[in-house]
């Protein structure tokens, strides 16, 4: 969440950032509400501190009065001390309530967009940051979409997944399962070569972890909730991996901290109907390799560029046409300051499919997590970044569709040592 002092000092900048996110003038009142709550908090704290100081002074005086035999005066002051205890208890309750209300209000304010974020309301307003410079592949009218290729070559089964679990839980089999495993290994090996430490995190997190990275209270409806235990299935590997350093103080020499991890991901998000969500285009369980970085604030945007280059390099090696979009204010995630989406071109569907989001959250997540670092004698909040490198479902789909031939589906050379075959036939 936003730092309270930043919000107070940069009130107009915060409001302008929220306007980029399409906040109405009425909705912007939450900023003033937060400042008023903080004023109340400060005033209540000052009143409480004054009372406690008076109590401490009286307590010392009472002791001296008893020692000097002035019992009546001591008893009068003791009566005042008892009154103070009651007043202080009431103020402490009020302070606790105000702090809770203040925290809840701060949780409702998204991150402030980076100055480069374009204005806009929907994904149609996103800016093409890097276009595909070559001709897009054309497969012809007889090209099959990936869900038909899957049936033809027995690669994954959505009906069996529905039988076992429900809609949106694909079951991979045969060469489809091996291709999936090959992609995971390839992405992890590439991340390792780029200096990322591999993590195998839990797939279930507690409420504190979900709140720290911004899934709560913003995305309750997208997560599977284990109500009996208060746990959540992870919607992305970002959640457990970023929480590794929650409530920690790093050294400036620790940067950059670079972590990667493979996880299945689970999302309840409601689907819609039509070809754009058929097959693997939108599923409730999918595999993903995540890259996460903790950075010094002075270097986080340089790190973001490095992450974009890493993801682009993966797609280049797979031979997939792709473009990069800079998300507009209306499409920007709640916790992000700046996000770039990667989309690959699906030749059989003749449409772009999102396969990665790479974001800089600046101090928004680290403020929630209390992730700090030593900067001389003081401590500062670190910057956090993450990105998909990559999400497999749509990569799998695009590889099938773009590499289909009359003889079968050609496996990219970089994957052949992982799959053990060069053709699905």
- The annotation places the binding site for L-serine at 236, 267, 290, 386
Contacts 24+ apart (CB under 8 A), 226-232: 230/206, 231/204, 231/205, 231/206, 232/204, 232/205, 232/206, 232/207
Q: Which of 139, 149, 181 is nearest to 287 (CA)?
A: 181
Start-to-end Cα distance in the chain: 51
Positive or negative: CA dihedral 74, 77, 83, 85: negative
Positive or negative: CA dihedral 317, 387, 255, 184: negative
Calpha distance 128→125 (Å, rounded): 9
How many helices and strands (H and E) does the chain possess? 13, 19
Q: Which two tokens stand for residue 256?
A: 């950059």
Calpha distance 129→183 (Å, rounded): 26
Which residues contact residue 405 at a Cβ distance below 8 angstroms, ignoring those fewer than 6 apart? none
Instruction: Write out the binding residues.
Output: 236, 267-269, 283-286, 290, 354-357, 386
Q: Which residues pair with 344 in a beta bridge?
A: 322, 353
Calpha distance 362→111 (Å, rounded): 9
Instruction: Write out the binding residues for ATP.
Output: 267-269, 283-286, 354-357
The verdict on whether omega for the bond into residue 39 sits within 30 degrees of 0, i.e. cis, is no
Calpha distance 175→169 (Å, rounded): 18
Q: In Å, what is the CA distance from 285 to each residue of 124, 132, 149, 301?
A: 26, 29, 20, 31
The verdict on whether omega for the bond into residue 151 sits within 30 degrees of 0, i.e. cis, is no
Beta strands in 254-348 (DSSP E): 257-266, 285-295, 322-326, 338-346
The DSSP line for 142-177 is TPPPHHHHHHHHT-EEHHHHHHHT-TT--EE-HHHH
Helix 174-193 vs helix 146-153: angle between axes, to the nearest 10 degrees?
Answer: 120
Tokens 């996110």 — which residue?
Answer: 21
């Amino acid at each position: 969440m936003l730092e309270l002092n930043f919000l107070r000092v940069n009130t107009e900048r915060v409001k302008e950032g929220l306007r980029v996110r399409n906040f109405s003038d009425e909705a912007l009142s939450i900023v003033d509400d937060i400042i008023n709550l903080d004023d109340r908090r400060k005033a209540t704290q000052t009143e409480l501190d004054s009372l406690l100081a008076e109590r401490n002074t009286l307590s010392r005086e009472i002791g001296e009065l008893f020692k000097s035999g002035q019992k009546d005066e001591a008893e009068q002051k003791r009566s005042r001390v008892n009154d103070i205890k009651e007043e202080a208890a009431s103020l402490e309750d009020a302070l606790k309530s105000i702090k809770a209300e203040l925290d809840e209000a701060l949780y409702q304010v998204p991150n402030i967009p980076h100055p480069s974020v374009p204005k806009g309301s929907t994904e149609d307003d996103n800016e093409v940051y890097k276009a595909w410079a070559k001709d897009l592949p054309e497969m012809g009218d007889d090209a099959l979409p990936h869900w038909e290729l899957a049936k033809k070559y027995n690669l994954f089964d959505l009906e069996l997944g529905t039988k076992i679990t429900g809609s949106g839980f694909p079951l991979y089999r045969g060469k489809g399962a091996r291709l999936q495993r090959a992609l995971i290994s390839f992405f992890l090996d590439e991340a390792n070569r780029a200096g990322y430490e591999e993590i195998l995190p839990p797939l279930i997190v507690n409420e504190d972890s979900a709140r720290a990275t911004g899934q709560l209270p913003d995305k309750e409806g997208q997560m599977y909730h284990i109500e009996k235990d208060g746990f959540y299935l992870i919607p992305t590997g970002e959640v457990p991996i970023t929480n590794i350093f929650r409530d920690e103080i790093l050294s400036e020499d620790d940067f950059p901290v670079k972590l990667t991890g493979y996880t299945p991901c689970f999302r309840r998000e409601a689907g819609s109907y039509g070809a754009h969500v058929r097959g693997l285009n939108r599923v409730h369980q999918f595999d993903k390799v995540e890259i996460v970085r903790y950075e010094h604030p002075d270097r986080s945007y340089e790190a973001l560029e490095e992450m974009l280059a890493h993801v682009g390099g993966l797609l280049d090696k797979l031979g997939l046409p792709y473009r990069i979009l800079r998300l507009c204010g209306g499409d920007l995630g709640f916790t992000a300051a700046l996000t770039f989406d990667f989309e690959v071109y699906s030749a059989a569907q003749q449409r772009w499919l999102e396969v990665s989001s790479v974001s800089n959250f600046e101090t928004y997540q680290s403020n929630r997590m209390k992730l700090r670092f030593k900067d001389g004698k003081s401590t500062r909040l670190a910057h956090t970044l993450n990105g998909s490198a990559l999400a497999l479902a749509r990569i799998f789909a695009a590889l099938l569709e773009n590499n289909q031939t009359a003889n079968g589906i050609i496996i990219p050379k970089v994957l052949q040592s992982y799959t053990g075959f060069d053709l699905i036939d």
